[in-house]
Chains A and B, each alone.
Chain A
Amino acid sequence: MPITSAVTQGLIYAGDTPLACSIRVEQTGPMELTLHAGTFTTTGQARIRDLTGQDAASISQRIADGLAGRLADGKRWREWLTARDGTVLRSETFTIGTQRLTLTSDPARPVRYAIDLVSVNGAAEIRVSRIVDGRETAGAPPPGARPVQHPLVFAFMLPAGAADLAPLTIYTLTVLPGFPPGTGPEDWRSQGGVQR
């Protein structure tokens, strides 16, 4: 199965964040990937607080001012952090239309591909990275482009002379809501793994 997600390779639970992704990746031709229209919502960065003892009116005002938000459990709220320059690190949502991408292999060398969502002046764009012998061959990203938190298609190697993506395993981003079954926020403040 060429298009898939796995733990630590694209499959992620949103936890206490607004993270969400409805952009679906599909192989629609021998060397073609289609990114179906959808949205990507970033996590933002926030401090999670209990509602117990908090002033409801103050919290409501912060929410109205765009500085905070309530969590789904109704017992906690999130207060967005601010960067050093004062920017509020709230969650953002980006929308893309359906895009078809044709990948090309190199006759003699492997090619490293990755597909990211980038923001250019607030608008979402798809950015394809194609690296051969350590050099980017897909051209420079547009001025002002900044990556939107995480790849949509994780880096994979296209063997020399490849003419079909089907034999490859390509990991894509899949976001699931909440936490893994049977777990909660305190179970995931520390995470680790072994990558091979």
Chain B
Amino acid sequence: MNANILNNPTSLISPWTANLDADGFDLGDLGEVEFRDESADPTADGRLRRSGDELTLRMQDARTNTVARPWTIWADTTGAPAASIGIGMLLQAESADENPADFGALDFVASDIGAGTEDTSLSLLLRVAGRVLDEKYRFSSTAGDGFAALFAHAVTADRTYTLPDITGTVLVGQHTATVVTIGAFGAGATFDGQSVTAVTFPVAFTANPTITCTPYSSNSVFYGTALIARSTTGFTAQAIGVANGNPADEELHWHAVLG
């Protein structure tokens, strides 16, 4: 009997007929925990309770304007952390032939795990056409402390924003452009599909910038630009849609910004 009590203290209370204060007693080697439907939320700080189809953890503190994080998931490693290590959450429901069926996952992944240089990103994984979960969106940032990108909208109907399958940078906002007037270039030349001479930036960029290029014609002859070849030091634009023999004194308004 003594051995049985030491090995199984709950044998003293079978079945439970009143609330049990474990007083810091740890429960280990549990198989499965079932919550009955109390149809009510937790009654106090630090409690977990089922109400209908929701399991609620309640953590109460005295904050007024800060964000609480009542739930922490910690997944460390016995190995040596390296780039691509991460922590995530898998969400499952049910489909016609899968139960459980993976519906989505959120992964936080490090591209840099160096001391004091950690960089992480958020990956959103979705399924397409019955295939397994796959990363479809990734959010990352190199911004300094205290700066966030705020995405907001004021649509009055459903809107779909489709991104084209090309490389590039979405340029938003306005920037002050410095207008520099220079002498004519390519004197005697015509555009007519020719590359205009290369433009050098006043100051080299540390990475390839995004460039917008707007042609301006003083004699109302329409033309456009395409094929902007760019580098960190300058760019070359290809003029299009110009009639042969157009004079070379047209203008090209350009703007470059480091994303």
Contacts and interface: CB of A to CB of B under 8 A. Distances in A.
A25 interface: no
A14 B206 CA distance: 9
Contacts of A62: 114
Contacts of A81: 207
Contact of A14 (B182, B198, B204, B252): B204
B180 A155 contact: no
B203 A13 contact: yes
A19 interface: yes
* Interface band, chain A: 35 or more
Given A46-B206, A150-B234, A196-B184, A8 B178 contact: no
B223 to A, nearest CB: 14
Contacts of A194: 179-182, 216, 251-254
Contacts, number: 176
A15 B206 contact: yes
Given A7-B182, A55-B116, A58-B115, A190 B255 contact: yes
* Interface band, chain B: 35 or more
B185 A195 contact: yes
A58 B116 CA distance: 8
B30 interface: no
Interface in A33-71: 43, 45-48, 50, 53-55, 57-59, 62
A193 B206 contact: no
Contact of A46 (B114, B179, B207): B207
A191 B234 CA distance: 11
Nearest to A12: B200
A149 interface: yes
Contacts of A151: 198
Nearest to A174: B200
A97 interface: no
Contact of A157 (B180, B182, B188, B254): B188
10 contacts: A8-B202, A15-B205, A46-B207, A62-B114, A112-B194, A149-B233, A155-B195, A180-B203, A191-B257, A195-B252
Interface of B: 114-117, 142, 144, 175-189, 193-209, 216, 231-234, 249-258
